[in-house]
Amino acid sequence: MNEVKVFVSSREIELMNFRKVSKQVIEKLNMYPVLFEEKNVATNKNTNKAYIEDVENCHIFILILWKSMSVPVRDEYTTAVKEHKPILIFEREIFEKEVRDPSLNEFLDEYQLGTSQNFRNTVKSKFRTETEFSATLKESLKEELISAFERPVRLYDRSKMYKEGSKLIEQAEKRLYIFQRKATLFYANEDLKDEFGEEDLELNYRNFELDFAKNLRTWIVDKNNFGDIKFAYIFDMSLTKRKINKIRNEEARSRIIDLIKENLLFFKNIEKQSKDKFKFTALDTPVSGPLMIADNYYGLWILGQRNSISIYHENERISSVLAEGLEAELDKNHTSYNDIILGLGI
């Protein structure tokens, strides 16, 4: 396996002793510390550019803070966020006679409140002495390595897949993106299923799918007023339309169409109230799925006629890359209430 590179970012002079401690801890864990005081600074490259390139190429990013934070250190942190690096922040506590720079206080306040787009889920710890720092850094790096190499959860039973999906929904606090081929959120209804049965409805959703849709609706209603949460529900327009058209029972079909319109209007109102932080939209091209992204977790489902498999894994970098891809698609293909009604032919 290639060496695990750990970039250490801080003000060099005021935290020199702690940089030395970090080097010792990283090397004892058989990882490679990246500290510029250890490198030959004679280079044709711009020094700041060289710093940034090393951040881009590292596996773990460590940020040590105390009295001040320079512009290059802030740039290194921003690069680590942009590149979806695992980030470990260590804040040395201030004693009574010590003064912290206002810009660093502002950074820490923004981090604590999560008000900046630059902030992501990180491990943040406080310390005072070199001994405390050494112990905290060692444990944090161990936990990061365990998380990075943890095997994904694999499931082969559909009911367990949907139950695991419901767990991800309940845990989501920052973002939740869901792509389902069939728009079960809009039409899954226990009363209709009991009244007509699966054969008349021909939508083939089971109790665990019904529970999933109910849990998702509850989460949406509870969370849509929280300003920092992002949510998107995406479905396959063509497949959903075909499913509706297959319903042979005219009364059942009429009831399903009314239910879809009612729910779609309800969720589109939530979309408007959230100022598009919550989005409900359709794609009119054949795509694979389902897919879930919940905070730092992602879930991929491959559903066949008889055999199915799903994979769940906690990985911030992969989750963010998937989320960015979905967000780009949403920006290009956001559909209105009327667009969806027209596309479904109802």
Domains of the chain (ranges, CATH numbers): 5-148 (3.40.50.300), 153-344 (3.30.870.10)
Q: Using CA atoms, how far apart are residues 26 and 74, in angstroms rounded to an integer?
A: 22
| Residue 294: partners with Cβ closer than 8 Å, 6 or more residues away | 168, 169, 171, 172, 175, 176, 177
| Number of helical H runs and strand E runs in the chain | 13, 12
- State the amino acid at position 340 in one-letter form: I
Residue 118 has which token pair?
Answer: 């630059």
| Exposed/middle/buried for residue 264 (C-beta within 10 Å: 0-12, 13-18, 19+) | buried
* DSSP structure class, residue 228: T
The structure tokens 């089971």 sit at 206
Residue 2 has which token pair?
Answer: 């290639």
- State the amino acid at position 191 in one-letter form: D
Q: Using CA atoms, how far apart are residues 146 and 327, in angstroms rounded to an integer?
A: 29
pLDDT string in tens for the chain (346-residue length): 458 899 999 998 999 999 999 999 999 999 999 987 655 444 445 677 888 999 999 989 999 999 999 999 999 999 998 887 888 999 999 988 889 999 998 888 776 655 444 445 566 788 999 999 999 999 999 888 877 666 677 777 778 888 888 988 988 888 999 988 888 899 887 777 667 665 565 555 678 888 899 999 999 999 987 777 889 999 988 888 888 888 888 888 898 899 999 999 999 999 999 988 899 998 776 556 678 998 888 888 776 555 667 888 888 778 888 888 888 878 777 889 999 999 888 8
